[in-house]
Chain A
Amino acid sequence: MDQAWLIPAIPAAAFAILLIFGPYLPRKGDWLAIAAIGASFILVFPVLADLLDQADGTTYVAGEKAWEWISFDLAGVGEKFEIEIGFYVDPITIVMLAVVTLVALMVQVYSIAYMKGDSRYGWYFTVMSLFAASMLLLVLSNNLLLLYAGWEAVGFCSFLLIGFWWEKRSAAEAAKKAFITTRIGDVGLLIGIIMLWLEGPNTFNIQEIITFAEEGGYDNTYLTGAVLLMFMGALGKSGQFPLHVWLPDAMEGPTPVSALIHAATMVVAGVYLVARMLPLFEVADPIALDVVLVVGLTTVMISATMGLAATDIKRVIAYSTLNSLGLMFVALGSSAVAAAMLYLFVHGFFKALLFLGAGSVIHATKEQDMNRLGGLAAKMPITAAVFAIGTLAMIGIIPLSGFWAKDEVLVFAKEEQNIIVYLVLLSSLVITGLYMTRLFVRTFLFAPREQAAYDHAHEGGLLITVPLLILGLLATVGGFVVFDEVGEALGFPGGFAQFVFLNEAHEFEFHLDTAITSSVLAGGGAVAGWILWQNKAELAARIRDRFAPVSTLLSNRYYIDEIYQFVIDRIVLGLGSIIAWFDRVVVNDGGVDGSAKLGYFTGFEAKFLQTGRLPNYALAIVVGILVLSIAMLVTQV
């Protein structure tokens, strides 16, 4: 446990070195960034071993290590105000650490080839190091303030990386959009943190706050408000409806960045936050968990349907991320931490795989519109094969990793929630099958639609294919950790749910009915997708024309961006112009300039009182004395 702090510290140190000496290092220091994240990845194992050593069968003694950061006496209260730099390790942290370090390592290795020759090659690796360090800090932090610091640093790095090619106007705008949209959520998170501290046990320590809440320390309504505000932060970071608008636009960044943001470092932070604070959600009014559930469900449905209409391959994958995150929130809304974390774990692998595969296509063809791709499987067999694995894992085909995770979520949704929730999830499976198959079929199979892109296509070098193959392997077998036998073979006490859990460990059970239902629906969706979009996709085009309004609605993303634009233009800017007028006329002209003018004019006029003539002064003195004498006489009477 004592080494845990090194995990974020090493990439952070690499960032500092790269920032200052990066340009003078050989190869601009990419090896340093990769070595740092590699070291972090290796360090996860001793930390995990420590955690397992301390396990006493049913619970894990979480490790904690802290240094004092800020400490002073609170005036008038007689209490100390303390902020720690503390690190906390429990199974949830381990899962996050494993996903973040491994995916970041793969992405950075892949980036050597992908970003080769870029004018800001060194800067790219510098920011990547900071990105990984911030996310690792976020998941390891034992207190809310340090978590918030990591949270904001992650947001800042995503801003830098989404806008990495800021010469392109759309990239700069996307970066701003991502930053501002997530900031709306962050305000909620900050207020939530302050609320928990204000009424809480005078500490930011997460475990102490949870204990305090479980003992009934908070007023129930107050706590509900606080956790919902914190959930707002998760909403923004994880791109959940209604703050999902930044995520598809974030595709403007380099593709490995998208892989990192979607699979490991940025969007899962929201899931992690809710998973970490889930005890508070449980103590609070049930409405808090219902909100999480409903938001997740809404996101699942709107993202799946929007994925049907997008034609940019990266955007389709972005919508699939929203879809997956929605599922995780549905799981969290059902208090199924194990299911959510399992999905997060395998999602990290297959989503990184999909993005890096898409990056491989874009790198080779310089094209990312699937209307201009097609037939690439012949030229890029490895990419096509691993992309197929990623696609099937996302759809949830047995025995790929996505199946097991999705099944866990479904089982919980079925057992814990209303039947409607279960039905909505099942219907989303069909749509996921449809759009993911569409993505694969339109990109890799049948006749190429644009010869130039096809001719250009080629398999990338080892730096591109090896990370793809490793991730492909993980996406295939990653789901087997649900089995007790696999867990035991790896040194864990049992399957995934016996390692990661909220209150008590779960035995993994295979629910045949859920498995068959979901497989049939997802497989049916995939087959339907194949039929619809095979060859020249004539069938799909016919359906699209038949339901033209729906298709327009979907390809315009439900007009949510337009509604936001309208709100910003009319309401926010309208309100802003009133405030701007007040500032300009009252504050500036009246207050600031006005007082300055007053001083100027009085000085300019009053200076003529100084005549320099002695008799005037003498007269003034006499008159003054007379006035004062009379005043004294009057007041004394």
Chain B
Amino acid sequence: MIPIDNFLVLSAILFSLGMYGVLVRRNAVLILMSVELMLQAVAINFVAFAVYLNPETFTGLIFGIFVIVIAAAEVGLALAIILRLFRNRQISNVDEADLMKW
């Protein structure tokens, strides 16, 4: 059996990549993709722990599915917002959309 460490390291690398993407990218679509990456890193963690620690139940696995479903819904919503933003203001960079402030 593959040791759990490998899964955790993979998950951590994915998460860090995602975080890096969120912090440095300006394009809204790319930030969204990075967020997806972070979510999937978490999902990998859930599944790995579920299999290794408590293989009898499906709790962790179901959580993984939940994360995927919610991520899909969230992406749908976010893409709609990005679309409206682009239609109205012809921008797709997040640092240009800064009206929600003082």
Interface residues of A (CB under 8 A from B): 607-608, 610-615, 618-619, 622
B101 touches which of A612, A615, A618, A619 (Cβ 8 Å): A612
Residues of A within 8 A of B99 (CB): 612
Can you report 13 A-B residue pairs in the complex whose CB atoms are below 8 A from each other?
Answer: A607-B102, A610-B101, A611-B98, A612-B99, A613-B98, A614-B94, A614-B95, A615-B23, A615-B26, A618-B22, A618-B23, A619-B23, A622-B23
Give chain A residues whose Cβ lies under 8 Å from the Cβ of B95: 613-615
Min CB–CB distance B38 → chain A (angstroms): 11
B2 at the interface (CB under 8 A from A): no
Extra inter-chain contacts (16) besides given A608-B102, A612-B100, A614-B95, CB under 8 Å: A610-B102, A611-B98, A611-B101, A612-B97, A612-B99, A612-B101, A613-B94, A613-B95, A614-B31, A614-B94, A615-B23, A615-B94, A618-B23, A619-B23, A622-B19, A622-B23
Write out the residue numbers on chain B whose beta carbons fall within 8 Å of the beta carbon of A611.
Answer: 98, 101
Alpha-carbon distance A608/B98, docked complex (angstroms)? 12
The residue of chain A having its C-beta at the shortest distance from the C-beta of B96 within the complex is A613
Give the complex CA separation of A611 and B95 in angstroms: 10
- Taken together as a complex, chains A and B put the C-alpha atoms of A613 and B98 apart, in Å, by 5
Q: Write out the residue numbers on chain B whose beta carbons fall within 8 Å of the beta carbon of A613.
A: 94-95, 98
In the complex, chain A residues whose CB is within 8 Å of the CB of B26: 615
- The smallest beta-carbon distance between B91 and chain A, in angstroms, is 12
4 nearest CB pairs, A to B: A612-B101, A612-B98, A614-B94, A607-B102
Provide the bound-state CA to CA distance between A140 and B100, in Å: 74
- Cα separation A482 to B83 with both chains bound (whole Å): 111
**In the bound complex, CA of A336 to CA of B1 (Å):** 114
A617 to chain B, nearest CB (A): 10
**How far is it, in angstroms, between the C-alpha of A614 and the C-alpha of B98 when the chains are bound?**
8
**Across-interface contacts of B22 in A (CB, < 8 A):** 618
In the bound complex, residues from chain A placing their C-beta under 8 Å from that of B98 are 611-613
B94 proximity list for chain A (CB < 8 A): 613-615
Task: Encode B19-45 as 1/0 by CB contact (under 8 A) with A.
Answer: 100110010000100000000000000
Least Cβ–Cβ distance between A521 and chain B, in angstroms: 92
Cα distance, A388 to B44, chains bound together (Å): 118
Q: How many angstroms from the CA of A611 to the CA of B97 in the assembled complex?
A: 10
Residue of B nearest to A615 (CB): B95
In the complex, the chain B residue whose C-beta lies closest to that of A621 is: B22
Roughly how many angstroms separate A299 CA and B98 CA in the complex, as a whole number? 85
Q: What separation, in Å, do the CA atoms of A622 and B31 have in the docked complex?
A: 14
Closest Cβ neighbor of B34 among chain A residues: A618
Hey, what's the 0/1 contact readout for B82-100 against A, CB within 8 Å counting as 1?
Answer: 0000000000001101111
Complex Cα distance, B26 from A283, in Å, reads: 93
B contact residues around A614 at 8 Å (CB): 31, 94-95, 97
A422 → B minimal CB distance (Å): 89
Distance from B27 Cβ to chain A, minimum over Cβ atoms (Å): 11
Q: Which residue of B lies closest to A614 (CB)?
A: B94
A613 to B101: give the CA distance in the assembly, Å: 8
A interface footprint on B60-102 (CB within 8 Å = 1, 0 otherwise): 0000000000000000000000000000000000110111111
Chain A residues positioned under 8 Å from B23 (CB to CB)? 615, 618-619, 622
Alpha-carbon distance between A613 and B26 when the two chains are bound, in angstroms: 10
For A618, the chain B residues whose CB sits under 8 A away are 22-23
Task: Give Cα distance in the complex from A564 to B39, angstroms.
Answer: 85
Looking at the assembled complex, report how far the CB atom of A223 sits from the nearest CB atom of chain B, in whole angstroms. Answer: 69
Cα of A422 to Cα of B31 in the assembled complex, Å:
108
A354 to chain B, nearest CB (A): 80
Instruction: Report the separation of the CA atoms of residues A619 and B25 in the bound assembly, to the nearest whole angstrom.
Output: 12
**Complexed CA–CA distance, A622 and B19 (Å):** 8
* Contact partners of B100 in chain A: CB under 8 A: 612
Residue of B nearest to A608 (CB): B102
**A506 to B81 Cα, complex, angstroms:** 105
Q: Give the docked Cα–Cα distance between A97 and B39 (Å).
A: 94
Smallest Cβ-Cβ distance to B28: which chain A residue: A614
Q: Which residues of B contact A610 (CB under 8 A)?
A: 101-102
Q: Closest CB of chain B to A633's CB: distance in Å?
A: 15
Q: How far is the CB of A250 from chain B (nearest CB, A)?
A: 66
A598 vs chain B, min Cβ distance (A): 19
Least CB separation from B95: chain A residue: A613
Residues of chain B with a CB closer than 8 A to A608's CB:
102
| C-alpha gap A612/B97 in the complex (Å) | 8
CB distance from B35 to the nearest CB of A (A): 10
Minimum CB distance partner of B99 in chain A = A612
